[in-house]
Amino acid sequence: MPRLPRLYYPGCAQHVIQRGNNREACFCTVGDYKAYLSFLEEAAVKYQVAIHAFVLMTNHVHLLLTPGDELGVSRMMQALGRKYVQYFNFTYGRTGTLWEGRYKSTLVSADNYLLTVYRYIEMNPVRAGMVDHASEYPWSSYQGNALGKPVQLLTAHPLYDQLGKTDAERQSAYRALFRDKMPERDLMAIREATNKAWALGDDRFKAQVEAMTGRRSAPLGRGGDRKSSAFREVRSK
């Protein structure tokens, strides 16, 4: 099956995942994490991509970001990947690829899922059993978004800014989002949309994305008369 073109909607946030080849480790030491974040910041500034949330796991990376233009994310990820692979291969005396194919991404509706994706990303180490609380993991944006630690890489999304009038209020409101366990339906929705390149939001958001991009933003419904003109009309979009 041919790959779907990536969705881009001006001003819309994206959730990006990049995994290590064969699920192998991409980070082995503290220096590796620091190098990746440095390269990420450099590429984000160069290609005008705002980074709202991130987590660096042992063998994969999650990012929540908003690009300044249609090519910003792809150019940033290409530059970042190339530079980090060169660093990693040189450091560990290896050759060849580090990443598993191209990165995966989805558009995220600010009205429905943005803060949920913030949580999804920063809760990864907890779900993986690496820590008991997101605050204990040093390689995620929780340190900045929830605790106020200076993280130059981060740019607050406008919806995050609406959580309070001051930094302290916003951080307190943000921490409150982490008190309850994420519903399984939200976890599944985020995973499916990101892995399959669908839009993450309600039907209105998906319709807006389709009108803007000219491609389907969600899977076709099951069933229906495949010989009917209505089915063929939907299938052709």
Terminal CA-CA length for the chain: 16
Tokens standing for residue 222? 């099951």
The CATH class for the domain spanning 13-235 reads alpha beta
pLDDT tens per residue across span 15-68: 999 999 988 999 999 999 999 999 999 999 999 999 999 999 999 999 999 999
Question: CA of 10: how far to CAs of 13, 201, 230, in Å?
Answer: 9, 16, 30
Q: What is the pTM of this model?
A: 0.89
Statement: residue 119 has pLDDT above 70:
yes
pLDDT at position 2? 54
C-alpha 121/C-alpha 54 separation (Å) is: 6
Residue 10 has pLDDT above 90, yes or no: no
pLDDT at 86: 96
Lowest mean pLDDT among 18-27, 40-49, 130-139, 227-236: 227-236
